[in-house]
């Protein structure tokens, strides 16, 4: 089978909750993409394997595959997918109670998303960074990160627009906004 067929099979298994089978299919897709000379798609399959490992709570395997995917994307100059892999590493670290590591990964991802002008993913990453700060009881940093998420979100609900206005209120009262 070719890489795309294996990839589709992996996604089908993943969506069905058959994570072990998804990992195998993604690994086969990775090998097929590598053989076909498509390193970007091969690295994406590593990232997909990491997500499936995370779902199985196989933390070490997830970390190894996310790290390898991030390193490959970095080598390929693909800042957007490098940032996605860094976000996945941050979410993994946060799930494992390693919030300081999570913060570093999220900050790496935010910087990359900013260079790509990917406001939606930047906003999502600011939100998970806010949660990591909250876990550390860094409440002002958590509020600041959530405010940044609202400021770069492409679309806001009425409630989110109100929160953004509310976060800006202290600056207005101090003459800064």
Tell me, letter by letter, the H, E, C secondary structure of the chain: CCHHHHHHHHHHHHHCCCHHHHHHHHHHHHHHHHHCCCHHHHHHHHHHHHHHHHHCCCHHHHHHHHHHHHHHHHHHCCHHHHHHHHHHHHHHHHHCCCHHHHHHHHHHHHHHHHHHCCHHHHHHHHHHHHHHHHHCCCHHHHHHHHHHHHHHCCCCCHHHHHHHHHHHHHHHHCCCC
pLDDT digits 0-9 by tens, 47-106: 999 999 999 999 999 999 999 999 999 999 999 999 999 999 999 999 898 988 999 999
Q: Average the pLDDT over each of 1-10, 95-104, 106-115, 150-159 and give the range with the smallest value.
A: 150-159
> pTM here?
0.81
Domains and CATH numbers, the chain: 3-173 (1.25.40.10)
């Amino acid at each position: 089978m070719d890489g795309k067929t294996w990839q589709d099979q992996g996604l089908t298994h993943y969506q069905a909750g058959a994570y072990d089978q998804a990992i195998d299919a993604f690994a086969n897709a990775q090998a097929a993409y590598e053989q076909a000379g498509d390193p970007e798609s091969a690295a994406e399959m590593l990232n997909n394997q990491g997500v499936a490992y995370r779902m199985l709570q196989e933390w070490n395997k997830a970390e190894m595959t996310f790290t390898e995917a991030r390193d490959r994307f970095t080598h390929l100059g693909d800042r957007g997918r490098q940032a996605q892999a860094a976000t996945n590493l941050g979410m993994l670290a946060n799930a494992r109670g390693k919030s300081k590591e999570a913060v570093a990964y999220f900050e790496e991802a935010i910087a990359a998303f900013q260079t790509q002008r990917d406001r939606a993913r930047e906003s999502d990453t600011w939100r998970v960074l806010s949660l990591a700060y909250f876990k550390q009881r860094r409440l002002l940093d958590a509020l600041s990160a959530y405010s940044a998420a609202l400021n770069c979100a492409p679309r806001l609900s009425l409630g989110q627009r109100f929160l953004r206005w509310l976060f800006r209120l202290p600056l207005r009262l101090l003459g800064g906004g």
